[in-house]
Copies of this chain bind each other. A is one copy, B any other.
């Protein structure tokens, strides 16, 4: 189906990569598991080791595999920063507007809120509150601003992971890498404090199962964070 587009000559290199992907799926390899040595794969696939390496390298480039001598090649955890490097590279000449990224992020986070409301355990609630506390900004020094930005990302990541939906979490972490590049937005101490307050309100709203309030807060929070237009 997917291969139907270029039916002409798909080439052996392409085929090798397909074989490799199939191999991983069929053997049920999981992240952290080790692949057979390149030589073995080459024999098994009936291609040269160079071809196997090229196939492997393509996947390594994407962060799907990591390999070190003697230890072999292992299946890596999903690394969205790699993917985003590729994406951001594309965006270098196709200028993705920040607006659209924000809209997408809002959609993700609103969807997450709905999942989170109603199944917020006390345990998670406490951890969220702690995250808010940790994130509090005490002054407006550059290092503190930097830390505050990091904590903000951490808070939103925690929200997403608490929602228990890995798909949304994946999308979000993908978007996060973009927003990290947008840092440098100068913010006043007032603004950071307001953001902290919004975080807390958000957690409480979720805890109170007040989805509408939570949604409104999230809208305002995201808009305020990156547009600074109240």
Tell me the complex Cα distance, A64–B75, Å. 23
Chain B residues closer than 8 Å to A61, beta-carbon distance = 17, 55, 57-59, 61-62
Chain B residues closer than 8 Å to A19, beta-carbon distance = none
Interface residues on A, range: 35 or more
Tell me the complex Cα distance, A85–B53, Å. 19
Q: How many copies does the complex hold?
A: 2
Tell me the complex Cα distance, A93–B25, Å. 7
A108 at the interface (CB under 8 A from B): yes
A189 at the interface (CB under 8 A from B): no
A107 at the interface (CB under 8 A from B): yes
Q: Is the Cβ of A165 less than 8 Å from the Cβ of B100?
A: yes
A2 at the interface (CB under 8 A from B): yes
**Segment among A34-42, A110-118, A124-132 that sits at the interface with chain B:** A110-118
Q: Is the Cβ of B93 less than 8 Å from the Cβ of A30?
A: yes
Q: Is the Cβ of A165 less than 8 Å from the Cβ of B17?
A: no
**Segment among A137-145, A148-156, A167-175, A195-203 that sits at the interface with chain B:** A167-175
A89 at the interface (CB under 8 A from B): yes
Supposing A62-B86, A104-B111, A111-B108 touch, asked if A96 and B167 sit within 8 A by C-beta, the answer is yes
Q: Is the Cβ of A25 less than 8 Å from the Cβ of B57?
A: no
Q: Is the Cβ of B60 less than 8 Å from the Cβ of A78?
A: no
Q: Is the Cβ of A94 less than 8 Å from the Cβ of B166?
A: yes
Tell me the complex Cα distance, A2–B173, Å. 13
A187 at the interface (CB under 8 A from B): no
Q: Show the binding face of A for B, using Cβ within 8 Å.
A: 2, 5, 13, 17, 21, 24-25, 29-31, 50, 53-55, 57-62, 64, 75, 78, 81, 83, 85-87, 89-94, 96, 100-101, 103-104, 106-108, 110-112, 114-115, 164-168, 170-171, 175
Q: List 16 A-B contacts (CB under 8 A).
A: A13-B60, A25-B89, A29-B93, A31-B93, A53-B54, A54-B54, A55-B57, A58-B58, A58-B59, A58-B62, A59-B61, A59-B86, A83-B87, A100-B168, A107-B111, A110-B111
